[in-house]
């Protein structure tokens, strides 16, 4: 593996424009799935126009579209949105687990389109084998282009993935504050040790996906540990938590907690 990238000066990637941004949101069409057995398929549209309205409401200049798991490796809607709005959007794609180049044959081309990362959703999946030669070379290319590897990790997968993520050559981003199940699970949580590594970032997002009070406890524990590689995400439109996504925007605003609602 290549050496880790420099942690930089507080920016996970080059933003499309000046000003504060949102690091995690989704767009999709109603009742569309790209995988054979999705855990959840929304029955409504989540449009770019609606997302921009939310960004404007919260005083944010730009956003990051993350490919939702139910669309699989069909990143066409994400890429189309990036092409239509290069001045306001960046993207994180989902690629083939056996060989990422089957989905993204030219990383420089996708970089020019606005893609800045690759997501692995490990909920209900063991994830790809990153020791495969196809992934080894692709991860090196990701590092060269400043891309990050983004993961949603359930509690039972942490023991397997911590040593893997400690050794990858590119930046690593952990979704939703590591999904702690409870406040009691925060002390000694594997994320606290992983997050001190200079190539690891954490998305302060999706507090409603964590146990009661656990997101805030994890956020404060990470801050106390000294990491400044925390970026806020709205997780809009809050799939599976529509209408009950309390605190969706609470991590915006200079690290202060507030609930601006929808």
The verdict on residue 63 lying in a domain is: yes
What is the distance between the alpha carbons of residues 262 and 165, in angstroms, rounded to a whole number? 34
Q: What domain count does the chain have? A: 1
CB 22 within 8 A of CB 57: no
pLDDT reported for residue 255:
40
pLDDT reported for residue 85:
98
pLDDT reported for residue 39:
84
What is the distance between the alpha carbons of residues 124 and 150, in angstroms, rounded to a whole number? 16
CB 103 within 8 A of CB 118: no
Does position 262 have pLDDT exceeding 70, yes or no?
no
- What is the strand order of the sheet 62-66 is part of? 21-25, 62-66, 89-93, 115-121, 148-152, 171-174, 200-204, 230-232
The verdict on residue 227 lying in a domain is: yes
Does position 213 have pLDDT exceeding 90, yes or no?
yes
Among 237, 219, 239, 216, which residue's Cα sits nearest to residue 227? Answer: 219
Does position 254 have pLDDT exceeding 70, yes or no?
no
Does position 257 have pLDDT exceeding 60, yes or no?
no
Does position 131 have pLDDT exceeding 70, yes or no?
yes
Under the banding of pLDDT at 50, 70 and 90, the label for residue 34 is confident
Does position 4 have pLDDT exceeding 90, yes or no?
no
Better-scored residue on pLDDT, 208 or 37: 208
What is the distance between the alpha carbons of residues 212 and 206, in angstroms, rounded to a whole number? 12
| Paired residues of 150 in beta bridges | 119, 173
The verdict on residue 62 lying in a domain is: yes
What is the distance between the alpha carbons of residues 27 and 67, in angstroms, rounded to a whole number? 8
pLDDT reported for residue 10:
61
Does position 52 have pLDDT exceeding 90, yes or no?
yes
The verdict on residue 38 lying in a domain is: yes
Overall average pLDDT of the 201-216 stretch = 96
pLDDT reported for residue 148:
98
pLDDT reported for residue 162:
97
Domain extent for 41: 21-232
Among 1, 3, 5, 2, which residue's Cα sits nearest to residue 173? Answer: 5
Does position 6 have pLDDT exceeding 90, yes or no?
no
pLDDT tens for 139-197 read 999 999 999 999 999 999 999 999 999 999 999 999 999 999 999 999 999 999 999 99
Q: How many helices (H) and strands (E) does the chain have?
A: 7, 8
What percent of the chain has pLDDT above 70?
A: 92
Q: What CATH number is associated with residue 214?
A: 3.20.20.140
Does position 1 have pLDDT exceeding 60, yes or no?
no
Would you call 84 helix, strand, or coil by DSSP?
A: helix
- Reported for 99-105, long-range contacts at CB under 8 A and 24+ positions apart, including other chains, are 99/132, 99/134, 99/135, 100/134, 100/135, 100/138, 101/134, 101/138, 103/73, 103/75
The verdict on residue 3 lying in a domain is: no
The verdict on residue 6 lying in a domain is: no
Q: Which residue has the tokens 């420089």?
A: 108
pLDDT reported for residue 256:
39
Q: Which residue has the tokens 């799939």?
A: 239
The verdict on residue 45 lying in a domain is: yes
Beta strands in 83-217 (DSSP E): 89-93, 115-121, 148-152, 171-174, 200-204
For 50, residues 6+ apart whose C-beta sits below 8 A from its C-beta are 237
The verdict on residue 241 lying in a domain is: no
pLDDT tens for 97-110 read 999 999 999 999 99
What is the distance between the alpha carbons of residues 227 and 103, in angstroms, rounded to a whole number? 33
């Amino acid at each position: 593996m290549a050496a880790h990238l420099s942690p930089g000066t507080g920016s996970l990637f080059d933003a499309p424009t000046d000003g504060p941004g949102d690091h995690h949101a989704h767009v999709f069409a109603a009742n569309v799935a790209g995988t054979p057995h999705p855990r959840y398929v929304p029955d409504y549209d989540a449009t770019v126009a609606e997302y921009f309205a939310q960004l404007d409401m919260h005083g944010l200049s730009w956003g990051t579209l993350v490919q939702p798991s139910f669309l699989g490796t069909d990143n066409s809607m994400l890429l189309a949105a990036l092409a239509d709005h290069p001045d306001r959007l960046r993207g994180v794609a989902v690629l083939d687990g056996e060989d990422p180049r089957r989905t993204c044959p030219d990383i420089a081309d996708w970089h020019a389109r606005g893609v800045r990362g690759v997501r692995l959703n490990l909920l209900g999946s063991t994830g790809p084998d990153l020791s495969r030669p196809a992934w080894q070379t692709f991860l090196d290319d990701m590092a060269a282009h400043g891309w990050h590897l983004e993961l949603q990790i359930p509690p039972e997968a942490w023991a397997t993935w911590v040593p893997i993520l400690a050794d990858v050559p590119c930046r690593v981003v952990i979704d939703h504050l590591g999904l702690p199940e409870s406040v009691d699970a925060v002390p000694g949580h594997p994320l606290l040790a992983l997050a001190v590594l200079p190539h690891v970032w954490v998305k302060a997002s999706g507090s409603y996906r964590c146990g009661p009070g656990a997101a805030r406890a994890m956020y404060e524990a990470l801050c106390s540990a000294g990491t400044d590689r925390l970026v806020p995400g709205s997780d809009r439109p809050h799939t599976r938590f529509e209408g009950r996504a309390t605190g969706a925007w609470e991590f915006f605003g200079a690290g202060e907690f507030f609930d601006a609602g929808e």
